[in-house]
Amino acid sequence: MQLRQFTRKTTQSVEGIMVAPRSWDEMSGVYPNATETQPTLLAVGGGKGGVGKTLVTTSIGIAMAQQGKRVVLIDLDLGGANLHSSLGVRDSRASLNDLFGSAEQLGDLVIETGIEGLGMVSGAHDALNIANLPFQQKEKLVRHLRKVDADYVILDLGAGTTYNTLDFFIAADIGIVTTIPEPTSIENTYCFIKSAFFRLLNAPGQPQDVRQVIQEALLRRHDDALSIRSASDLVREIERIDPVYGRTLKIRLRQLDLRLVLNQVLDTADIQLGRSMEMVTRRYFGLEMPVLGCILHDRSVQRSVRAQRPFMLEYPNSRAAATFEQIARSVMQGEE
């Protein structure tokens, strides 16, 4: 693993939500005299099931491993874990639930996938108590994720906007939002981004007047003829009310590094949809969400799922596989 200065996002807890640190040095994530190294933490999420989050997780992970990186995939679809099946790993007796029991380190739970450079931690698919993690356990898990001996750790998150999903998504260095070009999926994607935005915004410890304006914005209808019409307007209003807290909040939001993967693309109109989503996210939320890649619809994906074999190994010469390789290179080049 190439040594590099510790510039990863550091995560601080505030009464049940993982948020960006508050001091100015910590805000930047840079500790000038530190030599500690951490893996880059990627989280793959989205607002709807069936959009290909696990496909994106495994394919990016395999592509990175094939390009010489050490990668560990973590199944964080708590209560619905199936990452091991997608990789063809049938012996997954060690699972994430052991971290809250017998295992001392998350690294003790990493199992081989049969792919050089790629390990995984199976989700606790048979443990009901892990589906709704208490905050202290989430905080512990994030600390352990940062200590995994790898270049990249990729989290396969569950669908929807539960606090588990949002907190792990926010805690990652890069959040990969996965969607497909269908109206319900696009709507759920914006809902997911909005939920992550407000989860980060609505941390306890706010000044009372700031908390009030956030709650009013959450309850406001789209057709209200009031000044706050977008999330960006809300941040500006918070900065007007409390300039110091507003600046802190803006730094916190800049740490939310979003990327978009559009799956099951059929034509150029679908590709343009990705660009439109990028612009809407910038205009409404004030957040950048560049398109990381557009994956062409490919029936061989379903065949690989049925065979419980990784798509990247079964169809390495497909156009979709080439796109995943480009996505992996794009992420790695941005981290060098």
CATH number at residue 254: 3.40.50.300
195's tokens: 């939920």
Do the beta carbons of residue 311 and residue 59 sit within 8 Å?
yes
Task: Please give the pLDDT value at position 15.
Answer: 42
pLDDT digits (tens, 9 = 90+) for 89-99: 876 677 777 77
Residue 216 in any domain: the answer is: yes
Do the beta carbons of residue 318 and residue 67 sit within 8 Å?
no
Residue 6 in any domain: the answer is: no
Q: Please tell me the total count of domains within the chain.
A: 1
Residue 252 in any domain: the answer is: yes
Which segments of the chain have a pLDDT < 50? Answer: 1-7, 13-17, 19-35, 222-226
Residue 4 in any domain: the answer is: no
Residue ranges making up the domain that contains 302: 12-335
H helices of 147-182, where?
163-171
Residue 272 in any domain: the answer is: yes
Task: Please give the pLDDT value at position 5.
Answer: 32
6's tokens: 């510790």
pLDDT digits (tens, 9 = 90+) for 269-313: 999 999 999 999 999 898 999 999 999 999 898 899 888 899 999
Residue 3 in any domain: the answer is: no
Residue 1 in any domain: the answer is: no
Residue 7 in any domain: the answer is: no
The CA distances from residue 32 to 22, 25, 160, 188, 202, in Å, are 17, 9, 38, 40, 30
Backbone conformation region of residue 40, classed left if phi is above 0, alpha if psi is from -120 to 50, else beta = beta
